[in-house]
Amino acid sequence: MTAPLVAGIDTSTQSVKVVVRDAETGAFVRSGSASHPNATQVDPRVWWEALQVAVERAGGLDGVVAVSVGGQQHGMVTLDADGEPVRPAMLWNDNSSGRQARELVAELGAERWASETGTVPVASITATKLRWLAEHEPENAARVAAVCLPHDYLTWRLRGSTDIAELTTDRSDASGTGYFSGRTGEYLPDLLGHAFGRSDLVLPRVADIRESVGRAAGLGIDAIVGPGTGDNAGAALALGLGPGDVLLSVGTSGVVSAIVTQQPADPTGLVAGFSDATGNYLPLVATVNCAQVLDATRELLGVDYDELARLALAAPAGSNGLSFVPYLHGERTPNLPDAAGAIHGVTHASYTRESLARAAFEAIVCGLGVGLDAVRVLGLEVASLRLVGGAAKSPALREVAPSVLGHDIVLPAPGEYVADGVARQAAWVLAAQTDAAADLPAWPELGGAPVEVATAPSAPHVREQYALAAPLHLTREG
């Protein structure tokens, strides 16, 4: 008898990925992906188009009996009463609502936001984008009947639904909206109304973590659909993170996250107290500027990624005194949406291709270090650091990260962690159909055994140097 299969779908900032696995063992079966526009505002219908291409490239979904969707958090997807997008979705990396975020914090106070939602609003949070929409596009705002997030939209389309009343989400993604309490599991209509000017919107029903939310009618297969989850929660699920395990993700954004049992409330706004995909919490710190800093530096120097790494490794820790403040797109941590980057410490010795290359790597790791410190302040004792993401493949980052952070770095085997994590959730939902109390399936860690533990001599002077340079960032006007 053929073993049942499950599928995990990741709708990320740049593409949609599909991974198919054995429901019982977690063994990899096949996968496919399709790119879509990499922008800060995107028509959500292109995610559905990309999903269909990704499924085809994965060899179809024959044999798949359960599927879940993971996706980029925070994005504002607005739908009218007929379920049609009102405007392009504003994604997490759209910093247009920086002023609105500051105003919301000033109006209600950081303590209240942190206490009620676990998060102090910044430009990435959905509530701030709704305030921006109400102020800048009042005609569009008046047409909005429902608001959801990217993974909610794709789950809804996967089910073949056109009824906005059938939108669903999960607690992890809901916890990043700015109008949901992870502690109570309920939306906070007063905060939604305060941000948007009205609270009569249809919001996705928050499904139970083991619940089937429907069937995959949208792709013509007879498979149950799980509630899905946010991208960071999905990656944590794939890697089996436990207490004290910290995940450093270096992709389009830089992310520091860990699993805890109590929702943190950080009124400084550095740490977002999101929920995870299992009933715990996922304190998270994110930076906007990560892999694109390496991309920009590579393009400036006219080299490929291998040569960028070679140049960086030819310079000493500290880049001969050169510090790169990498606020190419503003920044979320620290909350500086209107900031511009800067380069400091330019001398005859540091004004080299090698120093600039290493300074780019050190810059993104220093940003992660700020996040790691913030999580530690909340009481987390770090047992291990794991490094994942596209940039984690670079030998330069594998040397720079342990050097700058002063801690050995575990490098899991490369994988599509978000898609793998929601595939695991799909297997959980499948098992719950016959046993409502079923545990998370005992799959091996989907990243496989660590392929390497990266070590390097600690270089605390790098972060000290960066800490002096970062406050000297520029603004968009200056």
Which residue numbers are catalytic?
A: 231
CB 2 within 8 A of CB 62: no
The answer to the question of whether 136 is labelled as a binding residue is: no
For 255, residues 6+ apart whose C-beta sits below 8 A from its C-beta are 232, 247, 248, 249, 284, 285, 286, 287, 371
CB 229 within 8 A of CB 170: yes
For residue 23, give the nearest of 423, 421, 447 by alpha carbon.
Answer: 423
Backbone angles phi and psi of 371, in degrees to 5: -65, -40
List alpha helices for 58-188, DSSP H: 98-108, 110-117, 126-136, 138-143, 150-158, 171-174
The answer to the question of whether 74 is labelled as a binding residue is: yes
Distance from C-alpha of 414 to C-alpha of 391, rounded to nearest angstrom: 11
Distance from C-alpha of 475 to C-alpha of 478, rounded to nearest angstrom: 5
Distance from C-alpha of 467 to C-alpha of 363, rounded to nearest angstrom: 10
Local structure of 459: helix, strand or coil? coil
Distance from C-alpha of 260 to C-alpha of 282, rounded to nearest angstrom: 6
Helix (H) or strand (E) holding 146: strand 146-148
- In the chain, the largest separation of any two C-alpha atoms, in whole Å, equals 70
| Torsion region of 389: left, alpha or beta (phi above 0 gives left; psi -120 to 50 gives alpha) | left
Sheet strands side by side (includes 384-388): 272-275, 281-287, 254-258, 245-250, 384-388, 409-411, 452-454
Terminal CA-CA length for the chain: 67
Give binding residues for substrate as ranges: 73-74
